[in-house]
Amino acid sequence: MKNAIYFLIAVCIPTVQAQTDTTSRLPKEKPLPDSVINVGRWPELTIKQAYLNQKILVKTKGTSELLQKNEHIILFINNIPIDSCEARPNVKNRQDLIFNLNEKTTTETLWNLFYTRGESKRTVTISAGVRGENPLPVVQPNNFTIVFYDTYWLRGALGVIILLLIGFILLGKYTRLIKHPNKSSDPPYSLARFQLAFWTFLIVSSYIYIWIIKDDYNSLNSTALILLGISAGTALSGTIISNNQERQDSTHALQHKKSAGLIEDLLADESGISIHRFQNLLFTLILGFIFWVQVYKDLEMPVFSDTILTLMGISASTYAALKVNENKDKVSPAPTSQQQQQNQS
């Protein structure tokens, strides 16, 4: 009996050792690498788009060790690092990363990098990673949509601008907002005042338009201020010149001049259409059109070169200098009785 037991032990032990050796020689299964497995709008992964005032939820595998090491994990969009957007781990699951897009620096970065002219949204690939390193691989493509603005905001902004335009037109027609303050019941339109009102409306409407759509209340730039300053200076100098002419001569023609229509009032003096008025109005309208188109397309106020701004300043200065010699014709005073008798004789 003992011999039989010894025989079984002698046979089984080498077999078990052989199996153990075979198992130890099998390749060990490698752990899954850190990766992004899903993306959605916080708090649900099923919503695949987010506005710039919302949060993104990035579901990962293997990032818990990085978080425990206090590594700075940031957002990556189309493999571009968004350094200002750091992850905030989810309390319930540290491998779920939350990124807040509503930070000012992050919002400005997204506008600058991913906004396309005329497009209210952009489809991108979302990932995450340690700052200064490559982003985590994405297990499957996540076509996530970043929404910059809703089209109804665009329509609302354009509606506000149309109302402002109607208000400016009515004020210009039925008040002396852009007319010369003379003694006539229907005074002529003033080019300098028209230019000031034109740039005021353009800059105010652009500011409101950008603010409504982009939620940016710091959109004013040096170009807008310089253009407004040039037009204000032109209006001020024009008013001073006209007042001096009337003060020196109470029978000055401009005191009793009536409007001949918007276009003729803006372009003509007593001698007819003048080149300095035409030049000033032409440059104003062209630059105003370019200004508004750029605001509509880029959602930011354009930056004109020093050359263009100097051109506007020269045109305004030329208008003011030549205005001194405008409207020199006087209204002939009514003849006295003595003059009438002499004429009859």
d(CA 235, CA 15): 106
Beta-carbon contacts of residue 68 (< 8 Å; ≥ 6 apart): none
Which of 32-46, 89-103, 171-185, 238-252 bottoms out in mean pLDDT, i.e. has the lowest?
A: 238-252
Q: Which long-range contacts (CB under 8 A, 24 or more apart) does 8-14 make?
A: none
Mean pLDDT of 305-332: 77
Mean pLDDT check: name the lowest of 57-71, 151-165, 196-210, 297-311: 57-71
Helix ranges (H only) for the chain are 2-25, 64-68, 104-114, 151-174, 191-214, 222-248, 262-267, 275-298, 306-323, 337-344
Q: Convert the pLDDT of each residue in 81-104 to its tens digit.
A: 998 888 887 766 777 888 998 888
pLDDT at residue 69 in the model = 63
The pLDDT confidence band at residue 105, using thresholds 50, 70 and 90, is confident
Tens digits of per-residue pLDDT, 204-215?
999 999 888 888
Q: Do 219 and 210 meet the contact criterion of CB atoms below 8 Å apart?
A: yes
Rounded Cα gap, residues 99 and 105, in angstroms: 13
| pTM for this predicted structure | 0.71
Identify the band that residue 8 occupies on the pLDDT scale cut at 50, 70 and 90. very low
